Amino acid sequence: MPTTYEILATTTLSSTANTYTFSSISQSYTDIRLVANMGLTGQGTIFFRCNSDTGNNYYWEALMAVGSSSTPTSAIQGSGEGRCIVTAGNQQTSSTNGYSLLTVDFMSYTFSLNKPFFYEYGFVPATALYNTKRTACGNYTSGTAISSVSIITDSNFVAGTTFTLFGILKA
């Protein structure tokens, strides 16, 4: 059987940055998967954009649990956001408390319409103030195939943060 699930690119930040972009993504795969292990310099929101697109083309349903005592919540989000939010303000703090893990599966990312995605996000800091778990199903509705993905924070990613992109090709 043909081997797939190939690492298309991986990097470890050598200095702080608020954005990392996978650009010129090969269009030769069926799905792509992004994996990020992220530390922040301080409390911040994390989100992603496709093709630097700030239009109203992101829709997602996020199932969320924050902290050990809260009940899970869920909500549809997207209209007017111009991005897909992975975690909000107080749900990831300084990397001194730990790193978060994010996986995003972009399904059929070269389709001309309806590029659904899943993301899984978790942050469990050493000081358990804002333990966060999010699971989302979404759709990037732009008519343009995904050729770049940017992971962005309004804080800064610390040096040592890693981003990896995989390509998966069906038979």
Site string for another protein, 131-160 (x = CB under 8 A): ----xxxxx-x-------------------
Q: Are 9 and 23 in contact (CB under 8 A)?
A: no
Please identify, using beta-carbon distances, which residue of 88 and 168 lies nearer to another protein: 168
Examine residue 68 and tell whether it contacts another protein (CB under 8 A): no
132 by Cβ neighbours in 10 Å (0-12 / 13-18 / 19+) ranks as: buried
Q: Pairing between strand 17-22 and 31-38?
A: unpaired
Examine residue 126 and tell whether it contacts another protein (CB under 8 A): no
Site string for another protein, 7-36 (x = CB under 8 A): xxxxxx-x--------xx-----xx-----
Q: Considering all CA atoms of the chain, what is the largest pairwise distance in Å, rounded to the nearest integer?
A: 47
First vs last C-alpha separation in the chain = 8
Binding site for another protein (CB under 8 A): 1-12, 14, 23-24, 30-31, 59-64, 71-79, 105, 107-108, 111, 113-114, 116-118, 120, 135-139, 141, 166, 168-171
